[in-house]
Homo-oligomer: A and B are copies of this chain.
Amino acid sequence: MNMQFDMAQNAALPTMVRPCVGHNCERCDVRDRAICADLSASDRDALSRIGRRVSLKAGQTVMWEGDDNMVVANVVEGTLKLATSTGDGREQIVGVVYASDFIGRPFGARTPHSVTALTDARLCLFPRGAFDGFARDHAELQHRLLQRTLDDLDRTRAWMLLLGRKTAREKVATFLLDMGRRLRADRDGVIDLPLSRQQIADILGITIETVSRQMTELKRGGTIDLIGRRGVRLVDMAELEALAEAG
């Protein structure tokens, strides 16, 4: 087993991240979908003043497993992974977050997983204490946070079925279907995967070689088509759905 691809930049946050200038909530891309969506304009401004905007390079880690839990954040742009690992270094990705998602652990002392940028990303970062205080005074925010956490829990539990019971074939098919739903194909029906083979392997709990083998077998069977490193065309969706349930 192995982890890879992100052991690179791991300096402390405040010095690494680049604060963005001239932020304005009114023009924020995720304004309608993030947890702050239901706040009044004045409350949103107050929250905004608590936090700050930061940029991340792909590969940078923002929070560490087991660290004191100092910050929480909204994802404004980009994709990040949440991961835990065993003492001897095996890593398991426990979640992937996208623009408008919320990361970090409010009302808790420790961060139970690391957070690493898969692509370049922008965050709206809040110190934990200040955020917790603000949240306690704003029921709408807590309600939104609760909804989001409940959804996360549902998704995470659904993923456990995949990790615990599905075969490598089923895992890869499920992953491809998920990507097909989440990402838009171009006019040729080709999807550009935002993840490397290694990252896919980590998410599915298998090795990079197995991912590769399953992909080429799906191609051989005419179920999918592979275009370069990151391109996939889902040719036979029905077949793919069948394989996702019972390989």
Contacts and interface: CB of A to CB of B under 8 A. Distances in A.
A120 B204 CA distance: 36
Contacts of A166: 86
Given A152-B153, A154-B112, A156-B157, A146 B107 contact: yes
A196 interface: no
**Chain A residues touching B, range:** 35 or more
B158 A112 contact: yes
A166 B164 CA distance: 11
Given A163-B205, A245-B88, A113 B157 contact: yes
A85 to B, nearest CB: 7
A147 B107 contact: yes
Q: How many copies does the complex hold?
A: 2
Interface string A63-92: 000000000000000000010111110111
A161 to B, nearest CB: 4
A149 to B, nearest CB: 5
A149 B157 CA distance: 13
Nearest to A90: B165
A204 B163 CA distance: 11
Given A107-B146, A139-B142, 6 more contacts: A82-B157, A87-B246, A88-B245, A105-B154, A108-B150, A160-B163
12 contacts: A88-B245, A92-B161, A92-B164, A105-B154, A107-B150, A108-B151, A145-B146, A149-B150, A149-B153, A156-B160, A164-B204, A164-B205
